[in-house]
Structures are given as C-alpha cells and as structure tokens.
Structure 1
Amino acid sequence: MAHYRVVLLPGDGIGPEITAVARQLLDVVAQRYGFQLDFEEQPIGGSAIDMIGDPLPEATLTACKTADAVLLAAIGSPRFDNLPREKRPETGLLKLRSGLNLFANLRPVRTVPALIDTSSLKREVIEEVDLIVVRELTGGIYFGRPKGRIEVNGDERGFNTMTYSASEVDRIARVAFEIARERNGRLCSVDKANVLDVSQLWRDRVDAMARSHDDIDVSHMYVDNAAMQLVSDPRQFDVLLTENLFGDILSDEAAVLTGSIGVLPSASLGSENPGLFEPVHGSAPDIAGQDKANPIAMVLSAAMMLRVGLKQNSAADDIERAVDTILSSGFRTNDLMSDGCIPLGCRAMGEQLLKAL
C-alpha cells in the first residue's frame, strides 16, 4: 500500500470548514483505491500569528518540506492589517512559496456547464472555455531588490524592482511548454515588452525555447491587451504564460469567467519540494464559522493534489465527477445560487459530495 504524508494548512477564516470537507473526501478515495494518506495539520497565517506570533512558524515550513504534498485552505484577516508587513498573514504565504522554491503556479479555468449562467459575462462568450494560467511565482517585482521607502529631497519615495534572469524565465517557460504539449498545443506568453526591458528578456527567452518546440503554436500578447481579450474572447487561449505580477492579476480575472471564484483550484510547483495545492479564493472572514462557505474549490484543489502531486489519477477523477454531479443536481452554496437550485451550507455540501462519491 502506498503511503503519502500530507500537511494540511487550514489557515484562517473559512479555512478549517472547507478543509474538513476535503479531508472526508480524500479519506474515501484513499480507501477505495488502496493508498493511505497520513495527515498532519500545521498553523499558518493569522492562526499562526495568534498561536506563535509568526505567520510561518519554522515547524510549519519544516513539516511542509518533508511532506509528499501540502494542502492549504486560506489565509488572511482584517484583524492583522495594521501589523508590519513582515508580520501579516500574507507574508507567511509568500515565505512558504519561497521556502519550498515553488516557482510555477498553475490555475486551470474551465467553464462548468451547470454554472454558466452565474457568470457576469454572456453565455456565448464563456461557453467551452478551458484554459490554464502558468504564472512565475518566486521572482519579479514581489521579490526583486532593491525595494523600500526612502526620503529624497524632502519627499518620500517608494520603489520596487522587477527583475528576472534568463534561467528563471527558462524554468517557468519549460513548464508552460510541457503543459501546452499535454493540452491543445497553443501557448500565449504575456509581457509588456514594448515598455519594459525585463519583458523583452522574457520574450527573447520564450522565443528561443519555441525554436526547439515546433509542435507548439507560440504567440505573444501585451498584458493590457491580454486583460481585455480574457473577457472578450477567452476561448482563444489554451496556455497563458506570464510573470509574477501580471499573472497575479490575470489569473484572478480569468477566475471570474466561470461565474465564481469559489470553484477554482490551483497548484504551486517546484523542482524538488512537494507541491502546494490551494483554492484561489480568500479566507472570507465575514462568513467564517457560519456554515456558509463554499468547499468546492478546496475539494477540487484536493483532487488536483491527487492528480498532480501524488499521481492518483483515478481518485482525482472520482472527486471531480462528484463535484460535477452535485452541481448538475442543483445543489448550491449561497455564492452560486440561481433560480430553482437547492441552497446548502458547507457541511451539507460536503454530505452531498460524499453521497455522489
């Protein structure tokens, strides 16, 4: 029997509620397919600040480094907004990604037929959308040096540095090319090469790699145009490759194509350490503890963990089919509600998922 050690990071807000649902489903498919998941919970974000005073305790990072996969729910709370930046929950997440050297963030965006009318965009625009954003995660302006705030001639100036090396671009581009080869063979690299030197380097390196990938149709698009095209003609995209800041913005924009950010998973991968799997939504502290949370994105993140991180494809298929089944049957949490559907809380959605499973 295969054994996998999974670190669970429930985090803040609705995190513990949606983690409990995902864990139940993981236990079922593990038993069904004859493998064992050994779970270990660790604090991160605001919960870690409350317990230890640090958004990423050393014990949490150590546990994650030695795991087979890490499943994170959500972090963040307005309670911590007045703390210094290095002490806020979000810093814990950035340090976790950096500490695990998770340089590739994958965000699949696929239209769910049962939810298509919940989108703010027209049905004819978003039908059959199926794309993935490949975002570089450990470089760019979020991590570049120098950065800070200084006094200049009696005026305060803030500054950050957007910087990439050729090897950093090659590393993330290689991931995107491999994914494009497994999908529909189309890759669009997003940059701002008409203005930024760092983007021109990015484009040059992507073009260099394209020469050894004749089977991939490679195009380039400026980030402002890409933002417009995502909401006007999203079906043109298969794999979107971009750097950290642009990817942060575009992946959230792409998320709304499905009608709700509450149904989208993500993965952050490196070359050596375990992958980190998490829903793209936030901690929703305004509904925490009220049994109103939507667990679907967390459940699909668990399925993505099984497929990408643990190579348990059949188990992942079962969980994804269970999600499709309950949505087709009209079960909804409040964020997904539409006429004629059946409203359920977080725990009841978990029960329906277990029945479908």
Structure 2
Amino acid sequence: MTTYYRPLVQSGPRPSHALPLCGGPLWFTEVEALRRDAAARILPASDLPEDWSRRLCRPRPALAGLSLDRPRLMGILNVTPDSFSDGGVFNAPEAARAHGKAMAGAGADLIDIGGESTRPGAAEVPVDDEIQRTAPVIEALRDLGLPISIDTRKASVARAAIRAGAGLINDVSGFTHDPALGPLAAASALPVCVMHMRGTPGDMHLDPVYDNVLLDTYDELAARIDAVEAEGIPRARILADPGIGFAKTAGHNLQILQRLSLFHGLGCPLLLGASRKRFIGTIGAASEAGARAPGSIAVALAGVAQGVQMLRVHDVAETAQALRLWLAVRDGAARDGAGPEGTGRA
C-alpha cells in the first residue's frame, strides 16, 4: 500500500534542520504520512524517502518566462457568452483587449484566454467558433508583454492560438479530450497545465464519487502527468492543477484544499483555480459569482500558505493587493514598489 507524504508548510526564519519547499522561502520540518489503510501520522521530515524529498525540495524552474520564486497571478479572460462568472461580458474583441490590459496593469503575470465554458453542464463548442473567439484576442494582447495561455481541450484551437502568440496550453481535461493536443504541445516546446477532471464539463457534476478524494485525485493527476511526459513534454514544462470544482462536490474541494501541499509531491509547480466557484458562494453566502472576491481571496491565500506557485483568478487587483499584504506579513517587511518585486505586479 502506497504511503504519501504531505509537507507541513511553515514560513518565517528557517531552522537549520528544515527542508526548503520547492527551493523557495517556505519550509517544513515535519510531514504527514497518508495511507489508504491507516490513520495519518506526523513524521520528521528527515524520515522522507529520497524520491519524495527530491520532489518536494527541488526548485521549480521558470515557466513561460516567469520565475516561480514567488506566487504568480494568472488573470482569467473568458471570451464566451456563457461562462458561469462573466459570460458575455468580454466576448467582443475590444472589450476583451481592454480587460486584458486592465488585468495586466492590476498585477496579472499571465493572462488565460478561454473560448469554451467548462462550467458544470456546459455543451462543447465547435472548433471554428472557439478559434474565432480566442485567436484574435490573443493577437490583440500579445503586445502587452505578458505571457498568454490558451484554455482549450482541442489541438486545432491550440494551434491557432500558438500562431496568434499564446505561450502556454491549459487543458482542463488533462490532455485526454483530443489525442492530437499532447503531440502538438510537445512539438511546440511550450509549457502546459495538466488539470484533474473526471468526465466532461457536460457530465462531471453528476454524482462524483471517490474512495479517497485527496489520494484518488493525486494518483489520477500523477498518471496524467506521467502520460504527458511520455508524449515528450518534460516535467519542467508542466504545471499541475488538482481541478477544484471539476467533478468534485463542495466537501471534496475542502478536503483537497485542506491538504493541498501533498500535490508538491508531483514534482511540478502547482496552480490553484478556485476563483468565484460555486462552493465559495455556498459557504460564503454569495449567490452572485461577481460577489465572491473575498471568499476567492481567502481560498487563494490559504493555497499560497501551502506553497502554491500560481493562482488563477478573476479579481486580479483585489487578489494582488491581498497577496502583497500576505507577503509583507510573512517577510516582516514590505518590498520596494507596489508589487513584491517592485514592478507593480504581485
């Protein structure tokens, strides 16, 4: 029976015997040993097997030109008529460009453009429609100087996006929907985001059942990362996303978020995409998606405290401000300039 090791992440002055989390400023001296057939145990980090120690401690290389020595913000730009949070608001090219520019100015490090809603129950969008929605917007935003990712499950859409200037492929299906997308990503030499999801957006919400949602999600995401790596995409170019809200109930989401640091064991940087999702509205008593910024930020900062390297968010300015304060409290000092590195970006 497999044993999994979750680092109990700490911040502040690092003891000499502590291990660095992903080579960054956070650290751990203990781990939680998890098994399917036994109760969790707390062990000293010195008891870690060598392979787990290596995966948990080694620095994560830059991704899409962004160093990962501090948390990065991926701003969400939906160019769809039916996304759960902002459908129809930015699907005109002029509105999309204006919003992308505003997010860049507010602190986004990367902009994620999607032309197909993946909300629960969503129908698949024809390839030509998805290309027409996304490629012109990517081309219009490429002069902002930020990396742009294409949020798609389809090779044809990704190919058009790459021609338009996209620098990362973000596939909610974990590269299972279109067999041609993995080879395309490998040939392009672009980084990718591999997300955990069961089923499709159309049916993923219909009674999702897990034996152990945390460990099942970890194993299934690890298997997808292995498969993508076997297609020629090195782990150094893979961003891992546990898929909060995808084929998961509110209870499932909370169990994963509570022990999110386990996923550092995948050996990839982690992306957390919980912004404005339904469980935040349910728990936070915010029925309207646009009113869920405070709850979204609370979840985002909980993820950052567990070492998440990238946050996918709708509310960039608000999250950037919260992140600047979180980092200032963690470090005991504010950095020069508006942003953590004096650039105005968080």
TM-score range, shorter chain: under 0.3
**Structure with greater helix share of residues:** 1
Structure number with bigger Rg: 1
With the length of structure 2 as denominator, give the TM-score of the two structures: 0.27
Greater relative contact order structure (CA < 8 Å, 6+ sep): 1
With the length of structure 1 as denominator, give the TM-score of the two structures: 0.26
